[in-house]
Structure 1
Amino acid sequence: MRLLLVEDDRMIGDSLRSALRLEGHAVDWVRDAAAAEATLSSERFDIVLLDLGLPKGDGLDVLRGLRQRGDRTPAIVLTARDGLGDRVAGLDAGADDYLVKPFELDELNARIRAVLRRHEGRAEPLLRHGAVTLDPATRQVTRDGEPVLLSAREFAVLEALMARPGALLSRAQLEDRLYGWGEEIESNAVSVYIHQLRRKLGADFIQNVRGVGYFVGGGTPKP
């Protein structure tokens, strides 16, 4: 998935970006409120990780602006502000969750998964289609109960498709989930990952509409 990290502390930001990339996420990072507002106005993300104490503005104002525009992008506040009033203000401003620093990466990952489940309207933590099951928490995939070994980017492509069964995702949309700013996009990378997934999961598991995109699920694909 593609994440926007809004964090002014260089050490924390660099550490979080590196750790989240190791989880297979595409992570873009901005360091002030003005950059966050400009980025969120022009680009789409699966989730926003938002510090509150920022240069050039406050994270709460960024969050309020996001919601006032009708943007439903899930947002998790990551902040040192630990007072009850701060937590209430963050949630009332539109945050989907509120995590106080310092925190463990495992907890952040669990909260990201929980927020995305709520956003997608599903309670079941596992993603299933046909004989294939994907567990976002353990990053394990099985087919007919047997484990299937995937690379981090193969997993990211499969998770994006299985999270929205029947939804048609273009190559550009899948690339957004694989690469952050400054990362070189490999030529035909998505096609290569789709080919590898079909080889491991079955030739018909991932379907495509030529020149448009890919989808998982039967019937007519949805935009």
Structure 2
Amino acid sequence: MRVLIVEDELYLAEAIRDGLRLEAISADIVGDGDSALERLAVNEYDAVVLDRDIPGTHGDDVARRIVADGLPTRILMLTAAALLDDKVRGFEIGADDYLTKPFELRELVMRLRALGRRPAESAPPVREFAGLRLDAFRREVYRDGRYVAVTRKQFSVLEVLMTARGGVVSAETLLEKAWDENADPFTNAVRITISSLRKRLGDPWLIHTVAGVGYRLGGSAEAGGSAEGGDP
């Protein structure tokens, strides 16, 4: 997942970001509503953790814009307002979930994971494809019943590939989904991570390079790519 954190208390925003990264969730931070709208216009986020009381454009209006623009981004409102009427109003303007301060980071992660299972095409909590089983909640990967130890970044990349279910995913998309906005677009991090992930998953390799296009999961190398190959 890739998440936008909209929170004007920087220490809290950074704590959330660091906690999400430990769960293989990439996160960017902004401190006001205007900046949030700018980021949402140029980046594709799976979810936004949105504080309602923020400088600039109010959090409620940010939520309304997300809904009005038809963005697929899920909205998790984060606020100190715990009254039922406040929650009802939040849902009425487009929130998908609501969490009041103070909160436990673990609960925030679980709620974000739940929202991640509810895109336009709903994804199951445990994904299975090409002999792989990926459990996003436990952050576990199995190949043909064998547990595979992966790093957080490898898990993020594999999650994106499994979501595509054999479709080709470009290096740019992987960089956007599995890294944050500070990632260098000219980095070879994607190629390195793919290479190490192939080795972790073992033979025969499941991730194939489609020259000039991207990477795909499952099937044979002859069915549209090579197991090794260069970075697209």
TM-score, normalization: structure 1? Answer: 0.91
Aligned length: 221
Partner of 1:140: 140
Partner of 1:34: 34
CA distance in 1, matches of 2:200, 2:214: 20
Give 1:67-216 correspondences, 5 Å limit: 67-119=67-119, 121-122=121-122, 124-183=124-183, 187-201=187-201, 202-216=203-217
Instruction: Indicate the SS of the match to 2:118.
Output: helix
C-alpha distance 92-217 of structure 1, shift in aligned 2 (>3 A): farther
* AA matched with 1:175: L
CA distance in 1, matches of 2:183, 2:213: 24
Relative contact order higher in (CA < 8 Å, ≥ 6 apart): 1
Q: Is the 8 A contact 2:133 2:142 kept in 1?
A: yes
Instruction: Indicate the SS of the match to 2:117.
Output: helix
CA distance in 1, matches of 2:120, 2:22: 24
After alignment, is 5-14 or 194-203 more displaced? Answer: 194-203
C-alpha distance 123-39 of structure 1, shift in aligned 2 (>3 A): closer
* AA matched with 2:215: Y
CA distance in 1, matches of 2:73, 2:87: 19
Which string of whole-angstrom CA distances, capped at 9 and with x for unpartnered residues, describes residues 7-47 of structure 1? 00112111111111222222110000111111112221121
CA distance in 1, matches of 2:51, 2:74: 14
Q: Is the 8 A contact 1:74 1:96 kept in 2?
A: yes
After alignment, is 159-168 or 56-65 more displaced? Answer: 159-168
Q: Is the 8 A contact 2:46 2:72 kept in 1?
A: no
C-alpha distance 118-100 of structure 1, shift in aligned 2 (>3 A): same
C-alpha distance 88-167 of structure 1, shift in aligned 2 (>3 A): farther
C-alpha distance 126-207 of structure 1, shift in aligned 2 (>3 A): same
Q: Pairwise CA RMSD of aligned residues?
A: 2.1
Gaps of 5+ in 1: none
Deviation at 1:123, TM superposition (A): 6.0
CA distance in 2, matches of 1:135, 1:148: 12
Which string of whole-angstrom CA distances, capped at 9 and with x for unpartnered residues, describes residues 136-192 of structure 1? 111111112121111111111001111231332110111112322335568321112
Q: Is the 8 A contact 1:140 1:148 kept in 2?
A: yes
Gaps of 5+ in 2: 225-232
C-alpha distance 168-130 of structure 1, shift in aligned 2 (>3 A): closer
Instruction: Indicate the SS of the match to 1:64.
Output: helix
Q: Is the 8 A contact 2:172 2:185 kept in 1?
A: no
Q: Is the 8 A contact 1:171 1:190 kept in 2?
A: yes
Deviation at 1:205, TM superposition (A): 1.4
Deviation at 1:197, TM superposition (A): 2.0
Instruction: Indicate the SS of the match to 2:102.
Output: coil
Q: Is the 8 A contact 1:179 1:185 kept in 2?
A: no
Q: Is the 8 A contact 2:60 2:93 kept in 1?
A: yes
After alignment, is 201-210 or 36-45 more displaced? Answer: 201-210
* AA matched with 2:165: P
* AA matched with 1:132: L
Q: Is the 8 A contact 1:47 1:74 kept in 2?
A: yes
* AA matched with 2:216: F
